[in-house]
Every structure is written in structure tokens, then in C-alpha cells.
Structure 1
């Protein structure tokens, strides 16, 4: 390991994880995804279904769309996490398999930048809730101060890596679910008539909005299952592929089912798309508002620690050669520079959905390229040592991968509502053809099925 670190020039956090270092069991891993799903950003996606008092889809269409999206997410998650699970490598090294050592820089940024935006977004949601507590308890209304405090706390927790994530998720995810079940109970018992009229029995549509919501839903997870190796490398060995897919499916469907409902119901009742502001309006009780707001803060911390801190930290470590702790600190600072207070405005709800669709237009193609490479071209056989050699067989950049990614993204923009799936399919086909039929990927054919044909 020391030799690999010296040869690769990478920080130890990016080296393959040994089996003895993997501490996450099945329950802890499920708690991780439960905590990630139960957050205000995902609830905002639910609230985006109701615009100006009119629901784009009714409750049945919403749940069918969610079930389709989560099923696909779980399958792709368990497919793309396999190399990381088997070898212990992180996502930024996983990328080298297809894009090359230099080419992986561009593709890793396409994962890291959205994560920083979501990091800032979730932090501002949490800061809004923390400010509600401050107003009730201390009479102080300073959301920006609360934002700074929350960022400092999150950076401090993140310095301990997945050791902190494990206990934070295990505790917070359960408590958050209980708090949100209470909010769901209030909505159903006190506002059922309004919710029924606005959302449950809305005419809705099975058309482009329905499929667009599925794409937005998947786009919300596109960045996470793209970097699946970052999480599976922490999971204890001995868990089968099908079993791992269930470790994603059950917590995601439980968490998302709850928050989507609450988001749509809150928007129906209050007309406010920011859940952190809508929940206190609904409860209208200072003591309970403090209780609920506290768990909103915890939820923001939980989702950031899972989905939005580790990926950009690894990218920064890769690009700058910083150690893990310095990169974690820089991630927190950069997240604060994304102006998240703009993203949470009521007028930005639709824009947020389009932001997801646009960046997923690039992430879908990258997922396709990695899956085609690993399962078809290399048939699950990758020389891990070579991935860490700057001048090895993966040196430079793979033109075929970069061009296929751009072709997939361009196709995705033709119909942005279906961006993720269009980009995935087109890029996968383009990559296979470019690798086998052109000279673009000739240097990267070693170890693939095309090497035997030359």
C-alpha cells in the first residue's frame, strides 16, 4: 500500500480500502440511505408538484413514478457499486478505467460540482430551520449567522470521515422519520379535505410531466449512484449483488415515499415550497416548531455527510493533492459560495428541477460509459494496480469516452425533461461503437474484448 501511495502520488484516502477497514454493516448501510432520503431537498421535489395551487400529478401518478424511478435507481446502484465493493477503490479512481488518468479530471468535476451545490442547498435549508429555533428561543433572527455555524459543525463532523457518518446516520435517520411521520399525521388529520382536492384527486397527467418527474427523481440520485464506489468500499464484505440492491431499494422507497407525500401536502396546504418555512406554518406551536426544526437541522447534516461532502472532497484531494481533512474544509467553504439562499426561493423551485435535469444530462452518459466498460468491454476484470500508475495503461485521456459523453449529453438536451435516460442510452451505444470501430479508444483497448480482435 505504501508503494502504491508513493507511485500514484495520491493521498491515502484514495487508495483501495482493505476488507479489515470496512466497518459498515447492513443495518448501518441502510440507515445511511434512509438518512440521505429523508431530507428537505427531496421534500422540495415533492412540493414542486404543486405550482400556484395546481398539482401537475395526482397521488397515484406520483407513487407510480416514484416506484419506477426507485427500482431503476436500485438496479443501477448495485451494478455500478460492484467494482468499488470488490476492490475498495473510490469513484475518482473508478473513472480512470474509462476516461484515463487525465480524462477522469473532467468527469470527476461533473460529479463534484453538483455535490457542492447540493451541500450548500441542504445547509441553507438546515440553517433556515436553525434560525426558526433561534427566533423562538432567543429572539434572534440571523439566518446567515446560523448558516455559518452549521457549516462549521458539518466540517468538524466530516473530518472523521465515515466513522462519523456511521453514527450520525444511525441515530438521526430513525428520529427524523418519526418526526416526519408526526407531520404527516397532522397533514392528514387536519387538512385532508384541502389536500384531497389539490393533490390526491387532481386530474394530473401520465404524459411528459409524468416521465419528466421520473427523470428528475432519477436525476436527484444520478450523482450519488454515479459515485457508488465511494460508499460500497465502506461496506463489509460477503454481501451478494442482489442483496446489496435491496439495501438501496427499501430505505430509499421508505424515505422518499414519506418526504414526497409531505412535500406535496405542505405545498397544497401552505402554498410555500420551502419545507423549512412551511412546517412551522402548519404546526403553529412554538414548542413543537422547535422540535421539528431541530430534526430538520439534523436531516440537513445527515444528507450532506452521505451525499454531498465525501464526493467533492475526494475530487479536491485528487486535483490538489491535499490531505482528506484539508479537502473537507475546502469543500465546506466552496459550498457556502454557491449562494444557496437563492436556490430555496419559492420562485426557484422549478429552476431547481431543471438544474437537476441539466447536470444529469452529463451524469447519465458517464454511468453508461462505466457500465459498458466494466461489464461488456472488460467483463468485470480490471487491473487495479494499473489504475494507480500515472504512466500505466490508463495514462492520459480516452478520447472515445469524452466524445461519447458529449454525444450523450447533446442528445439529452434535445428533450431535457428526459435528459437522464436519453443521455444514458445514446452515450452507451456511442461508447461501444467508438471503442470498437474507431482509433479514438485504441490506446485503451488493452484488457477489453476489442484487444482480441486487433
Structure 2
């Protein structure tokens, strides 16, 4: 079974329903405005608020307001830059991330490298859903006057809803994100207004005027804020392949920077503010303390539930779904259901407890140790070794030049990850640099005669 995109015959056997084939112009259903709202909706979520809260430990802020703002800005600048670079293969060729990986890692190597993206996404899917389930439980407690109180049941119900919505793919994502982003940002502005009017003195004493640090913890938080997006910009192709054609690289870069700065940056700051005045690191619980009005709490909790769905639809459902399709060859709807069920069994409640915010930071830093090297290898492969030239038919030819695995890429991945663990606080950056240099050197000097050199600047 083959599909023809711009004259290139493409084998669709990688997925039973052909959903991993390249997207042509007629297959792209997301316009500029929905794309921007998609990233606003993704940025305004309770997982990101939890990260903002993580700078406050036992009511004491590790960073002051200026250090928090600087760390967030630097992280978002790097995030949007890598997004704009790594989305280009998907945007131009219409290929998903799991197919893009084949250029560097080969068909077999892609299975390992894709799992390193899929597993964190499933865990984040569970974390976001547990936070959303907590918010849904707050609603039910108020509406039933305390007669109902079960986060576990709410978590499962919310997960079922998300599985059903995700069956409709990017068509559902586009509309859910557009609606949710507007509503959720309004809710966050309302919370910000309450904080500034009722808790200004506490914020000044405990956050604004605190000494903080510009040392290693400051740079560690840059890595944490960056690492939270490390998994998402890694599979930028999964999103850009759905975006309408004819948009320049510069404009696409701004389409990442602007919404992420507005949403992610704002939520990080609100999270730090809420934790400062409450000493609580669980968003639904902390927001209920700040608002202290059952009727308004119902509204804000409803917005949290919407934020959960919006974020998972973009960042945590599509990537592992494609990975499952790649490995099992099942249809999209089956794979997306399996993804939702795996998220239920990921034990997210262990990472969102009030006393485990540092555990969440460590979780991000650890998986970033593997994702930094992968994105470095992808960028070097596409921009330096292949000069942005893609042999599309070969990416779908299981017996072609990308058959098996690329030893240079696999070795560079583990060298970079190993180096990252030497300084876990800077894991993403260390892994990115070391893996990038290693891959360049290995591609040039090692594995003479490797078929993966074909079409590169090091071709024999």
C-alpha cells in the first residue's frame, strides 16, 4: 500500500491506517490562529503551575521574583528556538517524529529513542489527569455538600473522557485548545488579581524581597523550566505537519515564542505566588485556599479540568500514541486508547503530593538527560550532516539505507546521557552539548562504510 506525496512513493505499512504517512497540503487542518491557541492552551496547565510552585519549599522561596522571571524568560527563549529549528523537517516533509528519528537512528534504533519520548509523555498524562481529577473532586464535594469525596473515581472518569475526545485526533485538539485557552487564561488572570489585592504584603516579604540566588539553583531551575518542554519540542514534527503550508520559519518561531511566553511564563509566576502565600504545592488545594469561596472554587476547578484536557490533548497523548503505532502497527484509535490506559497505571499521585515537588523536578531532570542528546542528534543530522535534504521514500523503506540501527547515533545518545548524570541539575544542557559533539565526531571518524553516511557530508 503506497501513498504519493509530491511524487514520492511512500510505504504506509508503519501503521495499519496509514496515519504515520507524510501529510500533504490537503491533509493539514490547523491554521495559524488555532495553532497559536493550541500552545496557549498547552502552557496554561496545572503541571506548569506545580513547577512554579516548586521554587517554594516549606513556604520559603528559593528564587526571588527577578530570578524567577529571568529563569523563565531564558528557558522560554531556548524552548521556542529549538521548536522553530526542530519543527522544520515535519513542516516541510509532513512526517511525524517517529519517522524523523529514522534519519538518525534507523528503523530499529528508532524504537529505543521513541520510547524515551513516549514514556515521559504517558507519565505526564497521568500527572495532569490526577491534578484534573483532584479539581473535579473539589467540584463534586461542593455540589454534594461533602457527600462525595473520591479523587480516584474522578481521575478515572476524567481519563475516560480524554480517551474519547482523543479518538478524534487533531480535529478535536484544534477546537478544544481554542476554547480552553481563552477560558483558562481568564481564570488565571482572576487568580492573579486576587493575589495582588489580598496577599501583596505576604508576597513582598516572602518572595519579592527574599535574597534568593543567582548560583547553581538558578541555572538548575532554568533546566527544570526548559526540561518541562524538552519532551514536547523533541516531537515538534508531530505538530508542524498539521499546520497549513506557506508560513516562513521566522513566523513559525514567533508562533511558538509568543504563546509560550504568555501562557507558560504567566502560569509559572502565578504558581510561585500561590505557593508563597499558602505553603501548599498542589494547585487545586492551594487555589481553593486563596479563593475561599465555594462558588468561585467550582468555576476555577472547572477551568483546571479544562486545562488538564487541553494540555494532554497536545503534549501527552499524540506522541506516545504514534510510538505505540510504530511498535505494534495498530490503528490510531486502538493506540490512543492504550495510551490512556497506561496513564491510569502510571501512579501519578506519587509525584504531586505536597511533599514531593522536588521529586517532580528530579523526574524532569532525569528524563531530560536522555531527551537533550536526542534533540542534539536530530538537529545535527538535519542541518549539518544532511543540509536539510530528506530522502522521503527511504524513510518508509524498511530494507533501505535506514534499516537496522545507526551505531554512531546510539553511542552518542548514551555518551550524552551518561555525561548528563554527572551534573543532574544541568542534565539537559550537558547531555545536549556532549551528545552533539560526540555524534559529529563519531559520524566523521567511526564506523567506516556505514550506510547511514549515505546522503550526508561524510558519505564515502
8 A Cα contact 1:273 1:349, kept in partner: yes
Q: Equivalent residues in 2 for 1:305-384 (5 A)?
A: 305-384=313-392
Partner of 1:439: 447
8 A Cα contact 1:115 1:311, kept in partner: yes
Whole-angstrom CA distance in 2 between matches of 1:150 and 1:6: 33
Pick from 226, 230, 253: which aligns with 2:234? Answer: 226
Whole-angstrom CA distance in 2 between matches of 1:344 and 1:207: 27
Whole-angstrom CA distance in 2 between matches of 1:35 and 1:233: 19
Where do 5+ consecutive residues of structure 1 fail to align? none
Whole-angstrom CA distance in 1 between matches of 2:321 and 2:305: 22
Pick from 173, 182, 189: which aligns with 1:174? Answer: 182
Partner of 1:283: 291
Partner of 2:409: 401
Q: Equivalent residues in 2 for 1:98-137 (5 A)?
A: 98-137=104-143
Whole-angstrom CA distance in 2 between matches of 1:191 and 1:112: 40
Partner of 2:244: 236
Secondary structure of 1:95's aligned partner: helix
8 A Cα contact 1:361 1:419, kept in partner: yes
Pick from 21, 26, 37: which aligns with 2:27? Answer: 21
8 A Cα contact 2:12 2:21, kept in partner: no
Shift of 1:8: 4.8
2:179 equivalent to 1:187: no
Tell me the C-alpha RMSD between the 2 structures.
Answer: 1.1
Partner of 1:54: 60
Whole-angstrom CA distance in 1 between matches of 2:15 and 2:112: 19
Whole-angstrom CA distance in 2 between matches of 1:441 and 1:364: 28
Whole-angstrom CA distance in 2 between matches of 1:329 and 1:371: 32
Whole-angstrom CA distance in 1 between matches of 2:41 and 2:108: 34
Whole-angstrom CA distance in 2 between matches of 1:257 and 1:409: 28
8 A Cα contact 2:11 2:397, kept in partner: no
Secondary structure of 1:14's aligned partner: coil
Whole-angstrom CA distance in 2 between matches of 1:316 and 1:91: 13
Partner of 1:390: 398
Whole-angstrom CA distance in 2 between matches of 1:195 and 1:222: 30
Bigger proportion of residues as helix:
1
Structure 1 residues 9 and 300: CA distance shift in structure 2, 3 A: closer
Whole-angstrom CA distance in 1 between matches of 2:331 and 2:239: 19
Q: Equivalent residues in 2 for 1:410-429 (5 A)?
A: 410-429=418-437
Q: Deviation digits for residues 333-376 of structure 1, max 9, x if unmatched?
A: 00011111111101110010011011000000000000000000
Q: Deviation digits for residues 15-48 of structure 1, max 9, x if unmatched?
A: 1011111111111111011001000000000000
Shift of 1:10: 5.2
Q: Deviation digits for residues 207-259 of structure 1, max 9, x if unmatched?
A: 00110011111100000000000000000000111110100101101112221
8 A Cα contact 1:367 1:424, kept in partner: yes
8 A Cα contact 1:399 1:441, kept in partner: no
Shift of 1:385: 0.8
2:76 equivalent to 1:76: no
Secondary structure of 2:429's aligned partner: helix
Pick from 94, 100, 110: which aligns with 2:100? Answer: 94
Partner of 1:162: 170
Whole-angstrom CA distance in 1 between matches of 2:437 and 2:13: 35
8 A Cα contact 1:398 1:441, kept in partner: no
Structure 1 residues 7 and 272: CA distance shift in structure 2, 3 A: closer
Secondary structure of 2:390's aligned partner: coil
Partner of 2:457: 449
Structure 1 residues 121 and 440: CA distance shift in structure 2, 3 A: farther
Shift of 1:9: 5.9
Partner of 2:6: none
Whole-angstrom CA distance in 1 between matches of 2:21 and 2:277: 50
Q: Equivalent residues in 2 for 1:203-214 (5 A)?
A: 203-214=211-222
Where do 5+ consecutive residues of structure 2 fail to align? 4-8
2:304 equivalent to 1:299: no
2:261 equivalent to 1:245: no
Structure 1 residues 129 and 8: CA distance shift in structure 2, 3 A: closer
TM-score normalised to the size of structure 1?
Answer: 0.98
Whole-angstrom CA distance in 2 between matches of 1:45 and 1:148: 24
Q: How many residues align?
A: 452
